[in-house]
Structure 1
Amino acid sequence: MNHRTDILDLRTALDVLRQTPGQLVETDVEVDPEAELSGVYRYVGAGGTVMRPTKVDGPAMVFHNVKGHPDTSVAIGVLASRQRVANLFGVKKEELGHLLCECAKNPIQPIVTHEPAPCQEVVHRATDPEFDLFKLVPAPTNTPVDAGPYITLGMCYATHPDTGCSDVTIHRMCIQSKDELSIFLQPGSRHIGAMAERATELGQPLPISVSIGVDPAIEVTACFEPPTTPLGFNELSIAGALRKRPVELCPCLTVRENAIANAEYVIEGEIVPGSNHVVEDQNSHTGYAMPEFPGYNGKASHECWLLKVKAVTHRKHPIMQTCIGPSEEHVNMAGIPTEASILNLIDKALPGKVLNVYSHRAGGGKYMAILQCRKTVHTDEGKQRQAALLAFSAFPELKHVILVDEDVDIFDTNDVLWAMNTRFQGDRDIITIPGVRCHPLDPSSCPEYTGSIRDVGCSTKTIFDCTVPFELKEKFKRAAFKEVDVKHWLPDFEL
């Protein structure tokens, strides 16, 4: 499928949104990054699993007057609408999963450029007596009980000490002091965590760059996970395929690592070996980290790693980019790669039987997937449930799968619930798989909730089969209407 390839940095993306009515709002009114900035955007366009009232599919927003940070701006919600993501990539919103699936199959590796990098126009070294992360990086505090200012959209880039293979992932990072960040590396689930553990075994620090404010292709593809992108697979190569040109990296100035050249900000540093015991809320003592994608305040971890910062570089008049953890922005960044991963695996095993996948916003892009299935012969009966099992394999953090027929719009929740109400019986169409590892941020995934769960993060994975049995398909045909061209009566009408 054809898609646009002209958006190669954050500034171009914002310019495109400015030219599209209703997609970007900007303000020069001063805003406090401590809880106030996120409090404003909660109403404007956060969506997702954010506490209501919130605007779903609202515009992105840029704050040009950030308290304590002159000459900087903060952008939020750039990807907080599936339609906006589709517009930025130049495809229909229903095609996003298929687009990323194709890009994952045809990667274009990043390249290192030694030309002057935009992200290094201004340089602040930690050896400078005035160096202070709190003043240099306008990282918002999402809520009044956050552990501190959080970097939520930092593209963390590091290289495995043994293999030399590099990887990019997004982790929550909290500013702890003038030259220190805590970085939460969920044990056993992220590649940079494995790199930090190996570097610790070798008794050496892990050089790392954190690039903030990059183009949408990089932000979305950085969220791919195993098995689609196993250890050693550089997700920037999928971004390269999406842009139809390699992502350009530049050498860092103070550590032996590369950074994303088109970034607004880059933090250079090292993960200190054996430092995975940092208390996340050591300054605030609130007990909380920040609001996470399920919609609850995440508990402060006592197992974060310490990132010792060596330098901060940035563009002139930099734009900090951030997101609200439970917002629609997380849904799209996590969910669209999930859809691609599910489509990729199912198409290999059951070609043509699943037409599309939607990682629903109610699950934060991670917990719930809706599969649009097609049965053409009697032997297809049961393959829809096999597809659900494959979906669990393609994305281990998935908790619920809803199966619907090809006449159901998976992106319309009312249509999906219609299928559940008219094509589903609880005593025969629910399949449960108890005691499977899922995601520790699900507050119901704990032994206190139910005795069937033996450890935090385990869950009962559930399939809701809302497809019509093949032999009954003729009895479940939807009412058909005459096809007409509405524009004959309403020339400006858009469905």
Structure 2
Amino acid sequence: MSVTENKSVRVHDLRSALELLKTLPNQLVSTDVEVNPHAELSGVYRYVGAGGTCMRPTRVGPAMMFNTVKGYDNFRVAIGLLASRERVGHLLNCRPEKLGSLLLDAANNPISPVVDNGPAACQEVVHLASDPDFDIRTLLPAPTNTEEDAGPYFTLGMCYASDPETGESDVTIHRLCVQSKDEISMYFVPGRHLDAFRIKAEAAGKPLPISISIGVDPAIEIAACFEPPTTPLGFDELSIAGAIRGEAVKLTKCKTINERAIAHAEIVIEGELLPDVRVREDQNTNTGKAMPEFPGYTGEAKAAIPVIKVKAVTHRKNPILQTCIGPSEEHVSMAGIPTEASILGMVERAMPGKLLNVYAHSSGGGKYLAVLQFKKSSPADEGRQRQAALLAFAAFSELKHVILVDEDVDIFDTNDVLWAMQTRYQGDVSTVFIPGVRCHPLDPSQIPEFSPSILQPGTSCKTIFDCTVPFHLKSHFERSKFLEVDVKRFLPDFV
């Protein structure tokens, strides 16, 4: 893999990111044909470039811009900006195979965001919810991914809120369903930091101010997906994005709530998470389903989840709404690359120099499966590869499976990983089962009906597949060595 540096375009927001992609072959396509945001928009991109765990046929392809959205004359919709590891490399100016290391370095050297008191691009146009004509459903073209969805969803909203006791802030991405003209439901996976803030505010009987910034610098979208222990409660992930870019992310004060938003965002929704108010997620459709989630299945609609009361919507002139498909490669990039950074950091602290690289594999949506490239240098290293796998589970609690391979295996080439499994793995001695461990709640196999080892939904049998060669046998497993040649001498255009 390689990345082409284009110093003429400095990426600092969504628009500059799109400008960069325009200079690169096969990274961005657009259409002026009118598209319906209800199911059709996502249906088109499923074929063009969704990839990930989407039902086949799909593929990893270019990002896409829809210039004409039915019912929304002033909006364009961008999708798939991060739905390719190669494209993420271009956007972050980093070789794709080194993205985990880039993010780890950024997490270790954060640059805190700053408040800019000047005019903010995200507030060029202001719509107040107190206006009798205000209706978020007709104002913003939130897509409905499938015809079964509970409703239109904002899938790439950078949700920003602050601890009501300490004032510490956090940014995360959540499932946001439009419920009425001024209400949005918000689903929290247990343990999310913004939910901890909400619980504190609710205990005090107060709403929690929250801003939702849509259409931002891709560095922010990836940084927002870090999780503990790399980013504990009180760690503002915007500081990681600042470190990636080498300058602080600029925030602006919201118009109607006591919170801040990302100043360069295309769109900002200002609101409050209401105390002791819950809604049924599919109250408008009664489908029993929410939206397609990263494992490739449609999540069930939740019976009672918190509600955001919208106070205002602000946006740039000629705004672009950015969205993604839940099971697409975009989720793999956003969730998986921070996962790789967290695992690299945890293992490096325990055994420096042994873990060479990590890939949070597409088939697990960037969360369930990690491939670890481990180097054994002496007999004393035998067994430490499995210790590295255990540390990976500790670094990222939602990880379900780890595949361990040697340094001569390309972890980004699934065929090579499976080759290692076929020739360096024996199921009875190379598999480690760890049953009864809490995992991610969206895995549909985590039910007692699937396995007697699952006592409660949401726990898994985490598994290590050790596809490394025992150190004392390494000489018997040397790959065939081919002559190193300069291919360009024979094929000058060879890439």
Q: Which position in structure 2 is the counterpart of 1:331?
A: 332
Give distance in 2, aligned partners of 1:55 and 1:91.
23
Contact 2:280 2:303 in 1 (8 A): yes
| Per-residue Cα deviation, 1:311-361 (whole angstroms, up to 9, x for no partner) | 000000100000000000000000000000000010000111100000000
Q: Which position in structure 2 is the counterpart of 1:258?
A: 260
Runs of 4+, deviation exceeding 4 Å: 1-5
Contact 2:280 2:305 in 1 (8 A): yes
If the length of structure 1 is used for normalisation, what is the TM-score? 0.98
Secondary structure of 1:46's aligned partner: coil
Q: Which position in structure 2 is the counterpart of 1:206?
A: 208
Q: Which position in structure 1 is the counterpart of 2:37?
A: 33
Q: Which position in structure 1 is the counterpart of 2:154?
A: 151
Q: Which position in structure 2 is the counterpart of 1:60?
A: 63
Shift of 1:91: 1.4
Does 1:50 find its partner at 2:54? yes
Q: Which position in structure 2 is the counterpart of 1:471?
A: 472
Contact 2:127 2:314 in 1 (8 A): yes
Alignment of 1:100-249 (within 5 A): 100-187=103-190, 189-249=191-251
Q: Which position in structure 1 is the counterpart of 2:353?
A: 352
Shift of 1:450: 1.3
Does 1:21 find its partner at 2:25? yes
Q: Which position in structure 2 is the counterpart of 1:319?
A: 320
Contact 1:10 1:214 in 2 (8 A): yes
Shift of 1:158: 0.2
If the length of structure 2 is used for normalisation, what is the TM-score? 0.98
Contact 2:439 2:459 in 1 (8 A): yes
Alignment of 1:389-468 (within 5 A): 389-468=390-469
| Per-residue Cα deviation, 1:178-212 (whole angstroms, up to 9, x for no partner) | 0000000122x200000001101111000000000
Contact 1:184 1:303 in 2 (8 A): no
Aligned residues: 491
Residue 8 of structure 1 aligns with an amino acid whose one-letter code is H
Q: Which position in structure 2 is the counterpart of 1:12?
A: 16
Secondary structure of 2:416's aligned partner: helix
Secondary structure of 1:441's aligned partner: coil
Contact 2:340 2:360 in 1 (8 A): yes
Q: Which position in structure 2 is the counterpart of 1:368?
A: 369
Contact 2:47 2:59 in 1 (8 A): yes
Give distance in 2, aligned partners of 1:436 and 1:148.
33
Contact 2:189 2:441 in 1 (8 A): no
Secondary structure of 1:274's aligned partner: strand
Q: Residues 33, 225 of structure 1: CA spacing in aligned structure 2 closer, same or farther, 3 A cutoff?
A: same
Contact 1:26 1:62 in 2 (8 A): yes
Contact 1:182 1:306 in 2 (8 A): yes
Give distance in 2, aligned partners of 1:336 and 1:303.
32
Residue 75 of structure 2 aligns with an amino acid whose one-letter code is T
Give distance in 2, aligned partners of 1:98 and 1:79.
18
Give distance in 2, aligned partners of 1:145 and 1:346.
42
Give distance in 1, aligned partners of 2:95 and 2:22.
20
Give distance in 2, aligned partners of 1:7 and 1:17.
10
Alignment of 1:259-278 (within 5 A): 259-275=261-277, 277-278=278-279
Alignment of 1:474-493 (within 5 A): 474-493=475-494
Aligned identity (percent) is 66
Shift of 1:87: 1.0
Give distance in 1, aligned partners of 2:276 and 2:352.
46
Contact 2:184 2:309 in 1 (8 A): yes
Structure 2 unaligned blocks of 5 or more: none
Q: Which position in structure 1 is the counterpart of 2:85?
A: 82
Give distance in 1, aligned partners of 2:303 and 2:351.
43
Residue 64 of structure 1 aligns with an amino acid whose one-letter code is N
Shift of 1:89: 1.1
Give distance in 1, aligned partners of 2:152 and 2:457.
27
